[in-house]
């Protein structure tokens, strides 16, 4: 078993779209253009990138929801897509949209997830209450339909769903987007606590530079499907010639983007 | 084994809770089924034709069970797309066999209860008397034909997997074609010649033929007394239904697996339609 939690090597993903219903033309959009990176077990790695840079595609590949068109992916020592069953048992994912049955309550949604992973009802309910309590979710709303809950509360339930399973690897796809500052801080504190107590490996995508700096040991910057820079927050700032991480993000991804577009244009 | 039972239970639990939370829609759909069923069966009463009334009633009841069973399974993926939960279901460590078994078990229980409610409702509008009918035989036919409809539902469920935009619509068209060709309310012989061969492909055709024999519609006495036929008289229909079930269920699982792999290659799981 590898000591790497994630090993991604030259991963490519292209989406093809056909226009017109009969003999229409097919267009290609490269979401990932040979991305390589790795995460050690227990590490927190941040993926930064503008919208459409390939962050969510990468998370979907790692979540077994997308099959890459090229390259190699290993999660917790298991190869994807060949060993997806083993990977599924060991990962938790939180996406930017809190995907739930909105008519069902937090309790019903979480019990459904717990049953899917083979948990007992009593054990799952106890753990769900404990996690939600620590996340600052008002437990009096535990049995109310989620459609009546705020976005922040829904996102806390989404985080609880991922943590309920006690996975060694957490894939967090913009987990705090749209949360108010208090909720955001509660979630960030919980993620820190989780790392301290359980040594959970975390892959986090975010647009929040402060969050990336606070939570991540290393940060990768994605732009147009390519990893354009990687290192600690300090490394990236130094690489960009000083300033803040946001300055580094704009400079590194922006410069590389222009360069890539030019290169593509020349190649064409 | 216990873990697999819990995983199967997860889908039954989820669908039960969703039914409970959408109870007002369940009432609406059930009332609609009773009213539309009664409207169809009353055509027989208006014609003063007991045989026609019973033919229509058995069509209403069987279609009530089989269409709901088919629809619940076929639309389960479409519902997940609408709710936005499809990716979470597909990344759970659950085999597709367990997933679809859980969905099918709940669909079978729900469709049976719905049909009982429809039958109860029909008694309010019709003077129904099933004395002399082979009711046990009818139950056997219903159970055997359910398997084939589960298989059809699994095959139709791939449509929303493959097309987020048009899959659910295509599923409904598929269901309406089954209604058209299966002779639910009329004999197959009244269909245009070019449509009639399609009836042989629908499990509902065999289920309805068998159920009308077992009910005794064809062998009714002049004074309207039912003489339900023994189970042996519908042996060929039962064998055909069982064969269709044994073929369609594994075929449904297989094509569903193919569609899932295709959706993962093309990124179709992501969009919510």
Report strand pairing: A201-205 vs A169-173: parallel
Please give the Cα distance from A109 to A145 (Å, whole number): 10
Whats the size of chain B, residue-wise?
273
Phi and psi for A10 in degrees, rounded to 5? 50, 45
Cα of B265 to nearest chain A Cα, Å: 5
- Model confidence at A255, pLDDT cuts 50, 70, 90, reads very low
Task: Choose from B88, B97, B101, B273 for mutation: most chain A CBs within 10 A.
Answer: B88
- Model confidence at A2, pLDDT cuts 50, 70, 90, reads low
| Choice among A19-28, A144-153, B142-151 with the minimum mean pLDDT | A19-28
Please give the Cα distance from A189 to A193 (Å, whole number): 6
Helix (H) or strand (E) holding A25: none
Cα of A101 to nearest chain B Cα, Å: 6
- pLDDT the model gives residue A256: 44
- pLDDT the model gives residue B161: 81
The residue of chain B nearest to residue A146, with distances taken between CA atoms, is: B21
The string of pLDDT tens digits covering residues B56-95 is 999 999 888 888 888 888 888 888 888 888 888 999 999 8
* B87:A16 CB<8 A: no
- pLDDT the model gives residue B83: 85
Please give the Cα distance from A215 to A218 (Å, whole number): 9
Residues 6+ apart with CB under 8 A from B97: B253
Report the percentage of chain A scoring pLDDT > 70: 92
How many Cβ atoms from other residues are within 10 Å of residue B28's Cβ? 11
Cα of A163 to nearest chain B Cα, Å: 14
CB-nearest partner of B10 from A60, A64, A116: A116
The string of pLDDT tens digits covering residues A189-215 is 888 988 888 889 999 999 888 899 999
The residue of chain A nearest to residue B11, with distances taken between CA atoms, is: A112
Task: Please spell the DSSP secondary structure of A111-144, one letter per residue.
Answer: HHHHHHTT--HHHHHHHHHHHHHHTT--GGGTTS
* B94:A93 CB<8 A: no
Torsional sign, CA B150, B152, B155, B161: negative
> Contact, A156 vs A183, CB < 8 A?
yes
Q: What is the ipTM of this complex?
A: 0.85
Residues of A in contact with B84 (CB under 8 A): 97, 99-100
- pLDDT the model gives residue B57: 92
Task: Choose from B79, B81, B87, B163 for mutation: most chain A CBs within 10 A.
Answer: B87
Q: Where are the alpha helices (DSSP H) in B75-134?
A: 76-83, 86-90, 96-125
Fold of A4-80+170-177+200-267: Rossmann fold (3.40.50)
């Amino acid at each position: 078993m590898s000591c790497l939690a994630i090993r991604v090597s030259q991963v490519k993903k292209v989406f093809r779209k056909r226009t017109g219903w009969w003999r229409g033309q097919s267009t290609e959009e490269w979401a990932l253009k040979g991305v390589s990176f790795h995460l050690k077990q227990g590490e927190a790695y941040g993926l930064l990138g503008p919208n459409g840079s390939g962050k969510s595609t990468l998370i979907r590949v790692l979540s077994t929801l997308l099959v890459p068109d090229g390259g190699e992916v290993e999660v917790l020592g298991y190869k994807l897509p060949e060993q997806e069953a083993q990977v599924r048992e060991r990962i938790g994912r939180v996406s930017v949209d809190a995907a739930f049955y909105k008519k069902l309550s937090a309790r019903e949604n979480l019990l459904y997830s717990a049953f899917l992973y083979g948990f007992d009802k009593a054990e799952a309910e106890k753990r769900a209450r404990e996690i939600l309590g620590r996340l600052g979710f008002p437990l009096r709303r535990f049995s109310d339909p989620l459609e009546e809950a705020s976005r922040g509360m829904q996102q806390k339930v989404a985080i609880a769903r991922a943590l309920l399973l006690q996975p060694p690897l957490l894939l967090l796809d913009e987990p705090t987007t749209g949360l108010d500052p208090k909720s955001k801080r509660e979630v960030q504190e919980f993620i820190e606590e989780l790392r301290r107590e359980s040594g959970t490996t975390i892959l986090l995508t975010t647009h929040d530079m402060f969050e990336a700096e606070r939570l991540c040991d290393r940060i990768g910057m994605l732009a147009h499907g390519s990893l354009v820079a990687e290192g600690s927050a300090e490394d990236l700032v130094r690489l960009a010639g000083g300033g803040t991480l946001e300055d580094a993000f704009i400079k590194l991804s922006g410069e590389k983007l222009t360069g890539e577009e030019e290169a593509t244009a020349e190649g064409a | 084994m216990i873990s697999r039972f819990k995983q199967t239970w997860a889908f039954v639990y989820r669908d039960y809770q969703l039914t409970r939370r959408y109870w007002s829609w369940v009432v609406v759909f059930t009332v609609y089924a009773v009213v539309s069923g009664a409207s169809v069966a009353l055509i027989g009463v208006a014609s003063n034709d007991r045989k026609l009334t019973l033919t229509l009633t058995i069509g209403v009841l069987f279609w009530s069970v089989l269409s709901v069973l088919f629809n619940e399974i076929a639309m389960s993926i479409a519902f997940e797309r609408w709710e936005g939960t499809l990716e979470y279901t597909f990344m759970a460590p659950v085999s597709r066999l367990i997933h679809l078994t859980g969905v099918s078990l709940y669909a079978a229980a729900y469709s049976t209860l719905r049909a009982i409610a429809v039958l109860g409702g029909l008694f309010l509008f019709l003077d129904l008397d099933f004395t002399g009918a082979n009711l046990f035989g009818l139950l056997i036919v219903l159970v055997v034909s359910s398997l084939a409809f589960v298989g059809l539902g699994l095959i139709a469920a791939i449509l929303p997997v493959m097309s987020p935009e048009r899959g659910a619509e295509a599923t409904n068209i598929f269901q309406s074609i089954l209604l058209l060709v299966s002779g639910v309310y009329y004999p197959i012989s009244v269909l245009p010649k070019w449509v009639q061969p399609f009836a042989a492909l629908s499990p509902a055709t065999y289920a309805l033929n068998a159920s009308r024999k077992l009910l005794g519609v064809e062998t009714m006495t002049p004074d309207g007394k039912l003489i339900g036929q023994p189970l042996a008289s519908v042996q060929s229909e039962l064998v055909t239904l069982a064969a269709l079930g044994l073929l369609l269920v594994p075929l449904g699982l297989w094509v569903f697996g193919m569609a899932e792999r295709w959706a993962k290659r093309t990124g179709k799981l992501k969009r919510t339609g």
